[in-house]
Amino acid sequence: MSITQTSVFIESKPGHLTRTLEVFAKHSINVRGFSAADTGEYGIVRFIVDEPDRAEDLLCKEGFAVQSSQVLCVKLADNPGELQRVLKIFADHDINIVYCYSLASSYIALSVKDIERAEKALEDAPVTLVEQEEIVELDLS
């Protein structure tokens, strides 16, 4: 159970992230979470949106460098120690988290090399993975 992440290559310059967001706004794509990281020269912005396929198409048509990929989405309880509990499962299975970021409220997206292996690792743990369809109606309470 993984979800689609939409990543865009952008130069680390003012206005460049906005241009991507303008495309989303114009076409009513709802951004449910995002992360921006950069090397000082260029950056990769990763989005979790309600309609990833349409988002990718739209960005491609506008000439953006876009790539979709699969990430895990875990729902965390709003308790102290919860993030540690979840990440420790990955550590215990020797799974490296390449990056992770939080979505709206208490949802975090995590990128790992081998999604299936990570999914198996989480299977028996008390962790709620979020399905693609649920992204549209995330419970933000």
Both tokens assigned to 91: 């550590």
- Least gap, CB of 65 to another protein (angstroms): 4
Annotate 82-137 with DSSP letters as a single string.
HHHHHHHHHHHTT--EEEEEEBSTTEEEEEES-HHHHHHHHHTSS-EEPPHHHHHT
Dihedral (C-alpha) 76, 38, 71, 104: value to the nearest 10 degrees? 40
What are the residues binding another protein (CB under 8 A)?
5, 7, 9-11, 16, 37, 39, 41-42, 44, 46, 60, 63-67, 69, 98
Give the nearest distance from C-beta 38 to another protein in angstroms: 9
Smaller CB separation from another protein, 64 or 85: 64
| Residue whose CB is less far from another protein, 11 or 22 | 11
- Least distance from another protein to the Cβ atom of residue 80, Å: 31
Q: Which is nearer to another protein, 5 or 106 (CB)?
A: 5
Give the max Cα distance, the chain: 45
